[in-house]
Amino acid sequence: MTAEQAPLEWETPLFHTALAQFQQAVPFAEISDAIVDRLSVPERSLIVAVPVKLDDGSRTVFPGYRVQHSSVLGPTKGGIRYDPHVSLGECAALSMWMTWKCALLRLPYGGAKGGIRCDPRALSPRELEAVTRRFTTQLLPVIGPQEDIPAPDMATDEQTMAWMMDTYSMQVGHAVPEIVTGKPISIGGSVFRAEATGAGVVMVIERACRRLDRQLAGQRCVVQGFGKVGGVAAVELVDRGAIVTGVSDVSGGLYDEGGLDVQALYAHAHEVGHGSLAEIEGEHVTNEELLELPCDILVLAALEDQVTDENAPRVKAQMVAEGANGPLSLEADAIFAERGVPVLPDILANAGGVTVSYFEWVQDLGRLFWDRDDIRARLADKMGDAFDRVWELSEARGLTLRQAALVTGIREVAAALDARGLFP
């Protein structure tokens, strides 16, 4: 293989999946080849070495990554994950999806993603703090409130964001809350950020029901994943009169044909003892069985690749909502399209999180904070507007909702690139 033919560093299978989705949407987006070429590669990819002193006195070095896909609409935005599988290709794929998601919601951002390749469970809180502060220092040349704004992702949380915010602020000499989102409320975090993704999923489901002449109240729902997204979504569904018959976490699922007491389960899992669903009495099912339970709406809010060509034919739901990123394989997507089962795609359904992150950044920049009802109402407006544009394009062009969401996002970015032209 010659040097010209060697794959670029981020070209991994996951990046090729993201690229394939983009290329499949391109014919419907009607954009020029030059713009396709430009958006097919991330704008900036950074690999750093993160040295850290461990509690036993020894030193080790972790690889750290940050990929910024497109800055045409504004600063880039995306999570930081600590995971043994983090790679440049994974960050590049996720950064591309973030670009389409932000553009679809008409947020003035491009996509980014980053992380450290490590086993976070093997690190003490002190070691995690040291890793985070050193990594932040190495990102200083490429992050900033107008350049790139990190957020939590897998195995990072509001404490991680607080350490990042403090490290950045100490370098510039004053508090800069707008450098990260998803931070504690005491240092400029936003109320309602924690519930935003789950609440947004249900806002999108409700709109879809309305378009299909169904009432959300009375719909029988099954929710996979009972964490920040799935747990909140299950509670919101019940608040709107839906009947949640099945929920699951990593330990397995619980089923009750008459409807589960979701509030009590949520309190058990999140408030009282951070317990698992396995400790609750009732009819237990495996995660595989849960996906195939009879229901009207299946919410996938755990992790990627849960429904594939193997189990999709046995899924009985009449609508599928992607709270997680990438829970359906490309083949499963095609099976649901063939059967006429609407799939509310991740870049639309779980966009409530980044939308309220945007609200957090705006509040920090303005030093003016909104109340919970205000934020919820603004989120409902944003999600509703994006949903309507996607639904209408899907009907007008005969596209699946995923294709329509991608095309809608891609068109926004392409229009900005066209208007700005090529520098110099």
Q: With respect to ligand NAD, which residue has the nearer C-beta, 31 or 102?
A: 102
Q: Is 77 a catalytic residue?
A: no
Which residue's CB comes closest to ligand NAD?
227
Q: With respect to ligand NAD, which residue has the nearer C-beta, 177 or 230?
A: 230
Q: With respect to ligand NAD, which residue has the nearer C-beta, 357 or 414?
A: 357
CB of 344 to ligand NAD, least distance (A): 13
**Alpha carbons 371 and 368: distance in angstroms, whole number:** 10
CB of 100 to ligand NAD, least distance (A): 13
Q: With respect to ligand NAD, which residue has the nearer C-beta, 75 or 225?
A: 225
User: Closest Cα to residue 193, out of 152, 132, 254?
Assistant: 152
Q: Which of 101, 113, 183, 228 is catalytic?
A: 113
CB of 135 to ligand NAD, least distance (A): 20
CA distances from 378 to 145, 148, 187, 204, 258 (A): 22, 23, 22, 14, 34
Cis peptide upstream of residue 345 (ω within 30 degrees of 0): no
Q: With respect to ligand NAD, which residue has the nearer C-beta, 54 or 380?
A: 380
**Alpha carbons 11 and 195: distance in angstroms, whole number:** 34
CB of 343 to ligand NAD, least distance (A): 15
Residues in touch with ligand NAD (CB under 6 A): 197, 224-230, 248-250, 287, 301-303, 323-325, 350, 353
CB of 62 to ligand NAD, least distance (A): 21
Catalytic residues: 113
